[in-house]
């Protein structure tokens, strides 16, 4: 019995001294009203895939760039993906990328450090020159949106950046 108590005490002590983890929380407000959030024309199911990919990407960015004692809460207010769905070829939707159809994401965020709010804003993140960017994510879905969000995230929250 003493041995179990010892290991339990040790575990609790290690948790108490473990560094705080960075955290990114993402919510989507009224996604059914977003300008263009579906990679396909299939309505809610296509939109859910897009939202999941954006959430996962932002969480990964937080794991990579956010200081351990920081938390970012991001509320996505609107999404307009790069390009437009203009054509259907069999079961496939074709999204045409043109100079005037750049990606846009409207969001609101709150940055906390050690439990205190450091910054809180609403922003429209966009990339009008998205076609000029070198995309290294060959074959990946939403490369322009992911690159745009990565640049925005790094500029706002990367360790060493202060609001």
Assess whether pLDDT exceeds 90 at residue 41. Answer: no
**Alpha-carbon span 79 to 104, nearest angstrom:** 6
- CA–CA separation, 157 and 163 (whole Å): 8
* Confidence at 53, pLDDT banded by 50, 70, 90: very high
At 97-118, the pLDDT tens digits run 677 878 999 999 999 999 999 9
Q: Which residue has the tokens 């809610």?
A: 44
Structure token digits, residue 24: 């990114």
Give the predicted TM-score (pTM) of the model.
Answer: 0.78
Residue 56 — pLDDT band, cuts 50, 70, 90?
A: very high
Domain coordinates in residue numbering, the chain:
20-157
For 97, residues 6+ apart whose C-beta sits below 8 A from its C-beta are 82, 83, 130, 131, 144
CA 106, CA 126: separation in Å to the nearest integer?
A: 8
């Amino acid at each position: 019995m003493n041995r179990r108590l010892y290991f339990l005490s040790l575990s609790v002590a290690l948790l108490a001294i473990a560094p705080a983890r960075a955290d990114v929380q993402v919510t989507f407000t009224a996604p059914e009203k977003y300008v263009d959030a579906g990679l396909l024309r299939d309505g809610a199911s296509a939109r859910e895939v897009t939202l999941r990919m954006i959430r996962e990407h932002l969480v990964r960015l937080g794991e990579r760039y956010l200081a351990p004692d920081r938390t970012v809460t991001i509320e996505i207010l609107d999404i307009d993906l790069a390009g437009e769905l203009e054509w259907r070829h069999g079961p496939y939707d074709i999204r045409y990328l043109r100079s005037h159809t750049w990606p846009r994401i409207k969001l609101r965020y709150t940055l906390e450090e050690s439990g205190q709010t450091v910054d809180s804003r609403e922003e429209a993140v966009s990339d009008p020159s998205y076609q000029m960017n070198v995309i290294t994510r060959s074959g990946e879905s939403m490369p322009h949106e992911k690159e745009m969000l990565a640049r925005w995230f790094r500029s706002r929250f990367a360790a060493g950046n202060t609001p």
